[in-house]
Structure 1
Amino acid sequence: MMRALLILLALALPAAAQEESIVAGLSQSSVSITTNYVGSEILIFGAVKRDAPRPQGALDVIVAVEGPHTPVVVRQKERTAGIWINTDAVRIDSAPSFYAVATTGPLDRILNQTDDLRHRITIRQAIRSVGISSETEEPQAYMDALLRIREGSGRYRINEGSIWMDQQTLFRADVALPADLTEGQYRVRIFLTRDGHVIDMLERSIGVRKAGLERFLYTLSREQSALYGLLSLAMAVLAGWGASVIFQRLRR
């Protein structure tokens, strides 16, 4: 009898966990980087679908927008004889080129550490640095330096309390994308949390690619580097000559 009750309880738990789920969409699924691209804004909108009366407890939403991952080398500089020089360097296995987190409330209140570790939601968890401890005695200092640099440039950002939510059902988040985007697939993850626990997650993607003249120059630099170099040199000479002509006319 006891065994049968345990089996029924185990079967009931997944169903209970899915009493609330996310239904969401994006304002756009692709971004084209052109010569006049100065950044854009992505609107994430959605609702909470319920198959039962709303449970007790605080319901919150977290949105994480993540750019392509690349290895990163973080260097330490020291001032020697009045000159700043690189001394030590540490390689971080994989860090997102862009990472933005928007929430309905403070992260330390709406997300517990266990679920953060499982889903890699916060910026620190999104960075993978498996072997950094073997390269330096101060791995945390290098991680802090990477975060400080990318937060200062706007590549990493956390906007707590920026998601609008109505009646714990409808929600909306606006995430600004900078002008210096890296090409590739951007992952958009939407998390539904109750009392700090993730109860549902939905994932979407945004394709970012260069277009027009930007695409032509990018492809040329990768596929025909010699021609790209000659073209760059010719443009520099032409620009110099043009500036010289204008300067001479102004002097007359």
Structure 2
Amino acid sequence: MRAVAVALLAPLLLGAAQPRLVTDVSDTQIEIAYSFTGAKLLLFGAILYPPRQKPRADTEVIVVVKGPPESVVLREKAKVGGMWVNHATAIFRDAPAFYAVASDRPVDDLVPFPVAWRFGLGVANLPLRQEGGDNLAERQRFREGFLTLKRNAHLYSEHPDAVSIREGVLYRAEVPVPPRVPTGLFTAETYLVRNGTVIAAATREIVIDKTGFERLVTVAAARRPALYGATAIGLSLLLGWIAALLFRRRR
């Protein structure tokens, strides 16, 4: 009976023997104004080890900041009969509009591919929901095109030297936020890695939203699109008329 009890309790004992993460973020809310040129998001925390367990040098930290989900349509053009037409289409469902991963070494050096794919660690390892593509080669071409577009817009990035761990306990990571970052709810996920395995994880939420006049315009466009469109057209006509009037006076 004792052996059976030990066998049943073994998974719990092993789980209790693992360290856990206590994590926080410098800004849980980032406001975007007209002068916003980007920001640095600081994530920090501590690795709490079980009693009588010393910090280990082979323990690594990977931080992922991502969100909000969006659907993106990509179209590939081909020349048919001397004209360029849409040849193929792919849709990426619920893809993160922003994705950044920070570590102290390249992610591929820290975890094997199955683990990276399972937790979405690294741009190339994102498990994207993709629709469209007649064959594997075409699907892969669309995937690479999607990732390239995101990288070029600085919305998908990797930072293999952005995490530091002090005395095996305290860690900090800096993730750059580009000026064109989308608004919405983001998550900051911290993973504790040892010997290529994720042994602990923690998550914090971050809100990025517009403020001031930018927020007023965004809310107006979303809630009253017809009024917003009419106002935009009216302002354009008014500014055009004023410009023409000033031009006549100068002549």
SS at 2:129 equivalent: coil
Cα distance in 1 between the residues matched to 2:5 and 2:233? 79
Name the stretch that deviates more: 146-155 or 105-114. Answer: 105-114
- Per the alignment, residue 31 of structure 1 pairs with 30
TM-score, normalising length from structure 1?
A: 0.87
Equivalent residue, structure 1, for 2:14: 13
For 2:47, the equivalent position in structure 1 comes to 48
Whether 2:146 is the aligned partner of 1:175: answer no
Q: TM-score, normalized by length of structure 2?
A: 0.88
The range that moved more, 113-122 or 186-195, is 113-122
Q: Which residue of 1 aligns with 2:244?
A: 244
Task: Write out aligned runs for 1:55-74 (5 A).
Answer: 58-74=58-74
Tell me how far 1:76 sits from its aligned partner. Answer: 1.0
SS class of match (1:68): strand
State the Cα distance separating 1:116 from its structure 2 match: 2.3
CA offset digits 1:219-247 (Å, max 9, x no partner): 22222222212211121122223333444
Q: Quick check: 1:129 aligned with 2:124?
A: no
Q: What is the RMSD of the two structures over their aligned residues, measured on CA atoms?
A: 2.3
Q: Secondary structure at the match of 2:42?
A: strand
Unmatched segments (≥5 aa) in structure 2? none
- How far the C-alpha of 1:49 sits from its partner, in A, is 1.6
Gaps of 5+ in 1: none
Letter in 2 for 1:94: D
Secondary structure class of the residue paired with 1:67:
strand
Q: How does 1:224-239 map to 2 (within 5 A)?
A: 224-239=224-239
Letter in 2 for 1:13: L
Partner of 2:4: 3
Q: Distance in 2 between matches of 1:55 and 1:166?
A: 10
CA offset at residue 173 of structure 1? 1.2
Question: Structure 1 runs of 4+ off > 6 angstroms?
Answer: none
